[in-house]
Amino acid sequence: MEYVHLGRAGLSVSRLCLGTMNFGPETSEEDSFAIMDRAHELGINFFDTANVYGWKQGEGITEKIVGNWFAKGGGRREKTVIATKLYGSMGDWPNDDHLSALNIRRACDASLKRLQTDYIDLYQFHHVDRNTPFEEIWEAMEVLRQQGKIIYAGSSNFAGWHIVKAQEEARRRGFSGLVSEQSHYNLLTRSVELEVLPACDDYGLGVIPWSPLAGGLLGGVLRKIDKGRSASPTMLSELEKHRDKVEQYEAFCDELGEDPANVALAWLLEQTAVTGPIIGPRTNDQLEGSLRALEIKLDEKALTRLDEIFPGPGGPAPEAYAW
């Protein structure tokens, strides 16, 4: 396993981040335990979750599964860099969501209880809260850090200017601010290259791409359909929008002799400021297969071909659309 620092932080994390969103809705607790155990055996130390995962309001099902796994002992908690998130609704009452100081305090305490731990390594804002000033947000996070409940702060789904605003307010307060940003980023979705990636690079934030396989479109979907695998109506609809690109992509992966999913992950690992993509395996076979991405080295010719199939925005702003 390869390890890198998370952005400018001294924290070392694996180049693949284990996403737990399937734990509960798609994967049983027993199988989830097996996947997390195997992740440690493979050297993956970076796990990502969120208080809303499990998708039953207020229950935090996925965090509870991770917490039950930690409770098994054996160094599981100590070997894990656990990242969780807050923002989404955990109840029907006012202040049960978003980033008010009150919800930050309550949400953190609730996540700690579900995770059965006394600290969170990386506490992330799941979305930008346009109605709460960063003065309030950072004051609440400073208190959590002073209390030893969190170590690092991160964002998710922030625009470039949100990152700048957050970091400048943190700097004014003498606080470390954000060390990471989770963004929707893959070969099909590249708009973050305009301003989010440059902002992260400049401020020293590690980028953690989510949906690296574009919901499965980059995971060899045509091969799977040809083999008789069923696809959801949503997947088929998305496939029709991008069929030409997906056909070219899978043909190119055939030329490389590599699985499309692993090429998509390997491409992300080549991108500026990227720490590591989030993988969301439902089985140990899927988990182990993802490690091949760390061995794939895409040369300039391959990267150019991928840019031809999936043109990005043209580089960072403003050169992408101006001089």
First vs last C-alpha separation in the chain: 41
The whole-angstrom separation of Cα 109 and Cα 115 is 10
Q: Is 53 a catalytic residue?
A: yes
Instruction: Decide if 233 is inside a domain.
Output: no
**253 within domain boundaries:** no
Contact criterion met (CB below 8 Å) for 194 and 161: no
3-state secondary structure of 20: coil
Whole-angstrom Cα distance, residue 33 to residue 23?
9
Count structural domains, the chain: 1
Split at pLDDT 50, 70, 90, the class of 227 is confident
Q: Helix (H, G, I), strand (E, B), or coil: what is residue 298?
A: coil
Q: How far is CA 31 from CA 28, 240, 270, 278, in A?
A: 5, 33, 31, 19
pTM (2 decimals)?
0.96
Domain that holds residue 159: 3-215+263-298
Q: Which secondary structure element, helix H or strand E, spans residue 240, and what is its range?
A: helix 233-256
Q: For all residues of the chain together, what is the average pLDDT?
A: 97
Q: What is the pLDDT of residues 159-177, one digit of tens each?
A: 999 999 999 999 999 999 9
Residue 173 lies in a domain: yes
Residues 6+ apart with CB under 8 A from 50: 21, 62, 63, 84, 85, 86, 88, 124, 126
Residue 248 lies in a domain: no
pLDDT value of position 231: 82
Domain with 292 in it: what CATH number? 3.20.20.100
Helix (H, G, I), strand (E, B) or coil at 203: helix
- For position 316, what pLDDT does the model report? 96
Candidate list 53, 87, 203, 249, residue with the active-site label:
53
Instruction: Inform me whether the pLDDT recorded for 232 exceeds 90.
Output: no
Asked, for residue 91, whether it belongs to a domain, the answer is yes
| Distances in whole angstroms, Cα of residue 202 to Cα of each of 16, 198, 229, 312 | 23, 6, 44, 20
Going by the DSSP 8-state scheme, the letter that residue 27 receives in this structure is B
Integer CA distances (angstroms), 316 to 166, 186, 323, in order: 20, 16, 11
pLDDT in tens, 190-223: 999 999 999 999 999 999 999 999 999 999 999 8
* pLDDT tens readout for residues 19-36: 999 999 999 999 999 999
Residue 232 lies in a domain: no
Q: What is the pLDDT of residue 229?
A: 84
Instruction: Tell me how far CA of residue 122 lies from CA of 127, 186, 258, 304, in angstroms.
Output: 15, 23, 33, 35
| Per-residue pLDDT, 194 | 98
276 domain residue, yes or no: yes
Separation between Cα atoms, residue 79 and residue 240, nearest integer Å: 43
Q: pLDDT tier at 179 (50, 70, 90 boundaries)?
A: very high
Percentage of the chain beyond pLDDT 70 is 100
**Would you call the peptide bond into 318 cis, given omega within 30 degrees of 0 as the criterion?**
yes
Does 255 reside within a domain? no
Local confidence band at 228 (pLDDT 50, 70, 90 cut-offs): confident
* Residue pLDDT, tens place only, 88-138: 999 999 999 999 999 999 999 999 999 999 999 999 999 999 999 999 999
Given pLDDT bands bounded at 50, 70 and 90, which one contains residue 234? confident
pLDDT tens figures, 48-85 = 999 999 999 999 999 999 999 999 999 999 999 999 99
Question: Which residues, including other chains, have CB under 8 Å from residue 258's CB and lie 6 or more apart?
Answer: 266, 292, 296
Percentage of the chain surpassing pLDDT 90?
Answer: 95
